[in-house]
Amino acid sequence: MEKRAELYRGKAKTVYTTDDPNLLILQFRNDTSAFDGERIDQLARKGMVNNKFNHFIMNKLEAAGIPTQVEALLSDEESLVKKLDMIPVECVVRNRAAGSLVRRLGVEEGKVFDKPTFEFFLKNDALHDPMVNEYHIEAFGWATAEQIAGMKQLTFKVNEVLKALFDDAGLVLVDFKLEFGLDADGNIVLGDEFSPDGCRLWDKETNEKMDKDRFRQGLGGVVEAYEAVANRLGVPL
């Protein structure tokens, strides 16, 4: 597989084209950002940890019948993925109250919900990723009603699979965000990544934060926490 041109450079990942028009290379960098890129730092080993973490999680989801774009692990920081036409919204599920939900609604952090909540956000850093609803998504042509239903169904299924996986590792899956795209046949496929950068994970006994909130809140030990989570899951680093 030959890596060719840089296609897209995000805050923490770079996407490259390959000699196969249907496949891309996803490179996980050591860049770490928060607050829509206002705070940026370099954390050694982070790209490697997130790449291997993502590959492990995506394989678990594939085994549970959830289609993902991941094809193969190429190196410490690179994975081979299917090319998708990405839908520009994030699907967010929350099992407990944390982050922006606490600030918006004034609820206590850690409140356990009787059932998960679901929210859509537009992927737009300049607008600070505003919340949108299904009517907005259809009206602006970002996705059809059928695609919206598919994204919601798959997101809740991911929640079921990963809640159990993390619980067995002594962790609470507080919340997470997912991104989806369409493959060449128009099927909804899970894209982007699943790593501690895009979810909240707390120790089940102590509620210690083991995710990107360590960076956002200046707690330190970011990569060490990511590695600890990976080790509990059995991710080969």
Contact predicate 79/26, CB 8 Å? yes
Question: What pLDDT does 112 receive?
Answer: 97
Given a contact cutoff of 8 angstroms between Cβ atoms, the answer to whether 182 and 22 are in contact is no
Per-residue pLDDT band for 136 (boundaries 50, 70, 90) equals: very high
> Collapsing DSSP states into helix, strand and coil, what is residue 198?
coil
Other beta carbons within 10 angstroms of residue 209's beta carbon come to: 20
Q: Name the E strands within 19-170.
A: 23-28, 31-34, 39-42, 70-73, 78-82, 85-96, 112-122, 131-132
Residue 205 DSSP label? T
- The helix-helix angle for 145-168 and 46-63 (nearest 10°) equals 110
pLDDT in tens, 25-67: 999 999 998 887 678 899 999 999 999 999 999 999 999 999 9
Q: What are phi and psi of 55, to 5 degrees?
A: -60, -45
Q: Which of 97, 67, 90 is nearest to 207 (CA)?
A: 97
Residue 236 backbone dihedrals phi, psi, to 5 degrees: -75, 110
Integer Cα distance of 203 and 4 in angstroms: 41
The proportion of the chain whose per-residue pLDDT surpasses 90, expressed as a percent, equals 96
Q: pLDDT tens digits, residue range 167-194?
A: 999 999 999 999 999 999 999 999 999 9
> What is the model's pTM?
0.96
Q: Which of 125, 147, 127, 124 is nearest to 137 (CA)?
A: 147
User: Which class in CATH covers the domain with range 85-221?
Assistant: alpha beta
Task: Compare 1 and 198 and report the one with higher pLDDT.
Answer: 198
Same fold, 3-82 and 85-221: no
Question: Residue ranges of the domains in the chain?
Answer: 3-82, 85-221
Task: Provide CATH code, domain 3-82.
Answer: 3.30.200.20
Three-state DSSP state, 196: coil
The predicted structure's pLDDT at residue 147: 98
